[in-house]
Chain A
């Protein structure tokens, strides 16, 4: 305070914060990230759309309205429509169990939830075939009773659920650990029953994490290839989902059809991302209010 001139910012020497880097380092890092994004993300996306529209929008739409393509689109929507809600419920249950109770084997359960991340989807698919395929006793019985699982819709849903299981739980566990049990306990002392506590306290507190988890899960579920390829049997117009149909079309040199469907799949993923950004922007106040406290 002895030197008045130093309180004016323009005459103050340009001190850097301890954690700051020099402008050169900053510029190099930013350029590097942009370059990687451009090469790895934007260029392929552009290429897909360019290839899809190579013969014009009309040809692309015509390719998508072929019965085979329409069946694939409906199948993918149906599979995600079942797998994502199921995984949301299981994810909430798993996160609730892990964060609200103390029990033996909790660490093991956490590791098991991550298992689908580390197991190759193809291996997961093969396991399902071994367990439930027509050659196993359980699978034989299922086929005999008219509900075949492998090479049919239930198998595809199961495989998709296996692969996308961790997303919701992984998103919820850290949030629920950080929030602790105090608010739930407070609600209990105020006379609320378990279901009411979940509905009015737990669920509102985890809704953002839950939404992110569901969006990630959804994106992954729509795009799953490996596990579904094994259990579906790739029956055209019946058990071929969008990613599988894309591969089959591409192998048959139907490039406009393949890339049109690929573009549609990418578009669905982009819509999810935009949706997430919109929600974040719309509810920015609430988000920061619930993050602080």
Chain B
């Protein structure tokens, strides 16, 4: 799905989290929103997911205005920073949640739900963990379960908030590869937020560098490295 962000701004009380920003994300792209904390990258991601409404501006999904669409109607798969797995449900029930939440006539039957959940568990290469609870999983496993849960609703776009933030360096490398593979396999338009420039440069086709609620530069990783557009970008990527 192609996403068009048109002059989106967001104020929280007197503070502006986002000055009007515009951005065009082509269908099937893997995009990183890169910036330090407070740069507005998470706010932008949450606006795309429908968890915040913009103060002004429009969001277009495939040319259709999606600004007023409720979070439920957006069908955006969202992976939260601390994964936000339902702690009282098994991994299986976590992944099945979105399917069970559908209106009755669109809800798949029990056999179909089991089939889909098992397919997703295979996709994240954890076929055996369906009966476990989130507290019994490692950080890396939780992250992959959160990804599977988001994919279960057959999302139109995949949004990830600091997906590797809470993991140690070795697991992080592995999961980066995992996300790349899932992106390539599903062809989903994918946007992830990170403050780690290596992660953004290595994983994304396109990097959006943000600072203080503004977009500083948009480009391929190589272009941003060789031709930083502003002083901020030069300093941030050399840090």
Closest to A207 in B: B88
* A177–B102 alpha-carbon span in the complex (Å): 29
- Scoring A residues 5 to 25 as 1 if CB is less than 8 Å from chain B, else 0, what string do you get? 000000000000000000000
Known A191-B75, A193-B72; judge A201-B86 contact (CB<8 A): yes
Which of B74, B101, B136 is A187 in contact with, Cβ under 8 Å?
B101
* A192–B135 alpha-carbon span in the complex (Å): 23
Task: Judge whether A189 and B49 touch: CB under 8 Å.
Answer: yes
Within 8 Å CB of A191, what residues of B?
A: 72, 75, 98, 101-102, 153
Task: Judge whether B77 and A189 touch: CB under 8 Å.
Answer: yes
Interface size class of B (residues with CB under 8 A): 20 to 34
B97 within 8 A of A: yes
A107 within 8 A of B: no
Within 8 Å CB of B152, what residues of A?
A: 190
* A196–B81 alpha-carbon span in the complex (Å): 23
Stretch at the interface among A27-35, A60-68, A178-186, A222-230: A178-186
A293 within 8 A of B: yes
Q: How far is the CB of B146 from chain A (nearest CB, A)?
A: 8
A272 within 8 A of B: no
Task: Judge whether B80 and A188 touch: CB under 8 Å.
Answer: no
A292 within 8 A of B: yes
* A80–B86 alpha-carbon span in the complex (Å): 34
* A193–B51 alpha-carbon span in the complex (Å): 13
Q: How far is the CB of A211 from chain B (nearest CB, A)?
A: 14
5 contacts between A and B (CB under 8 A): A183-B86, A190-B149, A191-B98, A192-B72, A289-B87
B→A interface (CB under 8 Å) = 49-51, 71-72, 74-78, 80-82, 84-88, 97-98, 101-102, 133-136, 149-150, 152-153
